[in-house]
Amino acid sequence: MGTWDTGPFDNDTAADWSGEFDDASDGARIEMIEEALRGAADETDYLEADVACEAIAAAAVVASLRPGGPPIESGYAPDFLTGGGRLDLPPELTALAIRALDRVTEEDSEWRDLWDEAGTLDDVVAELAPIRAALAS
């Protein structure tokens, strides 16, 4: 995982996902979000880091579109959103995003293991806190 910072879009996988998101139609964007979230939320075996990174990016998108949600300010985030774009998301994506974030931070997650090995797990989990709080509100 090529990572350069702790934000939800600050890694190669999430940046690539963001580029695909920008190129997609609105309907395809909603499908991309759901697919990324389900990839993590429904995984019962060891969660691979790339799946986790896409789920985190998707959860950040969902959270940013909620009233009072955290703004997306990363240069690697989807231009569609940083430019003020909006999507009419199905309400069930909010609960799915929470499940996905919870799954990403569980013990059997490569994402968690990699950050723990780097000694910065607390920092990166703190980056997820405003996203999760916006989803839970």
Q: Cβ(56)–Cβ(64) under 8 Å?
A: no
Q: How far apart are CA 82 and CA 47, in angstroms?
A: 29
Q: Is residue 6 one of the residues assigned to a domain?
A: no
**pLDDT (tens digit, 0 to 9) for every residue of the chain, 137 residues total?**
466 688 999 999 999 999 999 999 999 999 999 999 999 999 999 999 999 999 999 999 999 999 989 988 888 888 888 888 889 999 999 999 999 999 999 999 999 999 999 999 999 999 999 999 999 99
Residue 59 lies in a domain: yes
pTM value is 0.95
Expressed as residue numbers, the domain containing 73 is 12-136
Decide if 23 is inside a domain. Answer: yes
Pure H helices in the chain = 12-23, 26-41, 49-64, 79-82, 92-104, 110-118, 121-136
Give how many domains the chain has, as a whole number.
1
Residue 5 covered by a domain: no
Q: Are 14 and 32 in contact (CB under 8 A)?
A: no
Any domain includes 50: yes
Residue 1 lies in a domain: no
Contact 9, 76 (CB under 8 A): yes
User: Is residue 4 included in any domain, yes or no?
Assistant: no
Distance CA 51, CA 88 (A): 24
